[in-house]
Amino acid sequence: MATILITGSTTGLGKRTAELLLADGHQVVLHARNHGRAEQIQAELPQAAAVLSGDLSLISESKDLARQANDFGHFDAVIHNAGVYNTGTQARLTADGLSENFAVNVLAPYILSILINRPGRLIFLSSNMHGAGQHDLSDPHWQQRPLNGVSWNSAIAYSESKFYLTLLTMAFSRCCPEIICNAVDPGWVPTRMGGASAPDDLTLGCETQAWLATSDDPLALRSGGYFHHRRLQQPHGDVHNEALQQKLFNYCAELADIL
């Protein structure tokens, strides 16, 4: 039996992943954005070991979520499932002055991965959209554009955040060889984010991260992979740029005041 924390597990991919792992007899700790949602998911999945809460758009609450996780105990795996896709007409900034996409999709996984006491495995939910956009950290919060005459593009902003998340995966894999770190493209699945008309299967979109969190398959025990439906894929080549990995690490450390 493995003990696994899943962020953003009140709906969609996170909840379905939790259900798969619970059905296989694993100890699963859920995460909700606030106490109200925590109470709701605890009622829906009473077999969960615990429900932690925290708004991952805020640096202080991401740090507090790491504290809650450490108070619970050791985790065999952490699945960084939580994510946002800002479909508004402009970049949405958090109370910390950061792009919500970057804060939730990139900075929060960095904070949790650094501050949670050395889990055995880290799984980061990427996207097949991760290749688009700028990859140089020149404007991660969309405050210095326009890009080709456009000051905001929700799809490109999301894609950039998933590029940085995949870059972060490879950085942790390189810098923390004692932790198995992998990224997953779950596909375009029918969740609140993906929409009801999404063509891929929700359960199939969850199986890879559940497998990576628990399996002794030699492929699942490798680090630094990018998977889709349990098969290794080739991510964008820039995610292997070690100088860019270090730049992102340093930038996140500075933002979060983790030095």
Q: Which value, to the nearest 10 degrees, does the dihedral of the CA atoms of residues 141, 147, 153, 155 take?
A: -90
Q: Which residue has tokens 């493209």?
A: 185
Q: Which of 158, 164, 226, 247 is catalytic?
A: 158
Among residues 121, 126, 132, which one has the least CA distance to residue 154? 132
Active site residue 158: yes
Q: Can you tell me the distance from the alpha carbon of 256 to that of 182, in angstroms, rounded to the nearest whole number?
A: 23
Q: Which of 15, 63, 162, 164 is catalytic?
A: 162
Distances 238 to 54, 123, 164 between C-alpha atoms, Å: 32, 19, 10
Active site residue 162: yes
DSSP secondary structure code for residue 91 in this structure: P
Q: Which value, to the nearest 10 degrees, does the dihedral of the CA atoms of residues 255, 77, 35, 166 take?
A: 40
- The set of catalytic residues is 158, 162
